[in-house]
Amino acid sequence: MFRQIQCFIAVVNNHSYTQAAIECHLSQSSLSQRIKELQASLGVTLIQRKGLSFELTAAGNYFYQHAQVLLEQVDQLVTETQAIATHTAESYTLKLGYLRKFGSQEFLQAVAEFSRQFPQVKVQIHSDSYAELFTQVRDGQIDLNFSDQRYELSTAFENEFLTAADYMVVVAPQAFTTHQSAIDTTELKDLPCILIVGADEYASEQAYYRDVLGIQSPFQTAASFGAAQMLAATGQGYLVVNSRTARQINPKTNRVLKLVDHGRDLTQHYYAYWKKDNSGYYIETFAQILKDQFE
pLDDT at 83 over 70: no
Sign of CA dihedral 60, 66, 70, 75: positive
pLDDT at 290 over 90: yes
How far is residue 213's CA from residue 51's CA, in Å, rounded to a whole number? 66
Give the model's pLDDT for residue 3. Answer: 85
Give the model's pLDDT for residue 141. Answer: 92
When pLDDT is averaged across residues 62-70 and rounded to a whole number, the result is 85
User: How many C-beta neighbours within 10 Å does residue 193 have?
Assistant: 23
* Residues 111 and 144 both lie in one domain: yes
* Residues 169 and 261 both lie in one domain: yes
DSSP 8-state class, residue 104: -
Percent of the chain with pLDDT over 90: 36
pLDDT at 89 over 80: no
Judge contact between 67 and 8, C-beta under 8 A.
yes
pLDDT at 238 over 90: yes
Tell which of 35, 52, 86 closes a domain.
86
* Residues 186 and 260 both lie in one domain: yes
pLDDT at 104 over 80: no
Tell which of 52, 86, 120 closes a domain.
86
Q: Specify the number of domains making up the chain.
A: 3
Query: pLDDT grade, residue 102 (50/70/90)?
Result: low
* CATH number of residue 72's parent domain: 1.10.10.10
Judge contact between 106 and 294, C-beta under 8 A.
yes
pLDDT at 88 over 80: no
Query: pLDDT grade, residue 216 (50/70/90)?
Result: very high
How far is residue 100's CA from residue 126's CA, in Å, rounded to a whole number? 9
DSSP 8-state class, residue 151: S
* Residues 151 and 246 both lie in one domain: no
Give the model's pLDDT for residue 76. Answer: 76
Q: Which pLDDT tens digit goes with each residue over 138-154?
A: 998 999 999 888 888 88
* Residues 152 and 280 both lie in one domain: yes
* CATH number of residue 115's parent domain: 3.40.190.10
* Residues 174 and 230 both lie in one domain: yes
- Range 194-223 burial, b when 16+ CB lie within 10 A, else e: bbbbeeebeeebbebbeeebbbebebebbe
Give the model's pLDDT for residue 149. Answer: 86
Q: Which one has a higher pLDDT value, 51 or 161? A: 161
Query: pLDDT grade, residue 183 (50/70/90)?
Result: very high
How far is residue 136's CA from residue 144's CA, in Å, rounded to a whole number? 9
Cα 275 from chain centroid? 8
* Residues 131 and 274 both lie in one domain: yes
* Residues 97 and 119 both lie in one domain: yes
* Residues 8 and 147 both lie in one domain: no
* Residues 184 and 194 both lie in one domain: yes
pLDDT at 103 over 70: no
When pLDDT is averaged across residues 97-104 and rounded to a whole number, the result is 73
Q: Which pLDDT tens digit goes with each residue over 250-278?
A: 888 889 999 999 999 999 898 999 998 88
DSSP 8-state class, residue 46: -
* Residues 146 and 283 both lie in one domain: yes
pLDDT at 160 over 90: yes
DSSP 8-state class, residue 146: E
Q: Which pLDDT tens digit goes with each residue over 166-181?
A: 999 999 988 887 788 8
Which element (helix H / strand E) includes 84?
A: helix 58-86
Give the model's pLDDT for residue 171. Answer: 92
How far is residue 64's CA from residue 52's CA, in Å, rounded to a whole number? 21
Tell which of 86, 119, 144 closes a domain.
86
Q: Which pLDDT tens digit goes with each residue over 184-194?
A: 999 999 999 99
* Residues 224 and 138 both lie in one domain: no
Domain of residue 104: give its range.
93-163+269-293
When pLDDT is averaged across residues 95-101 and rounded to a whole number, the result is 83
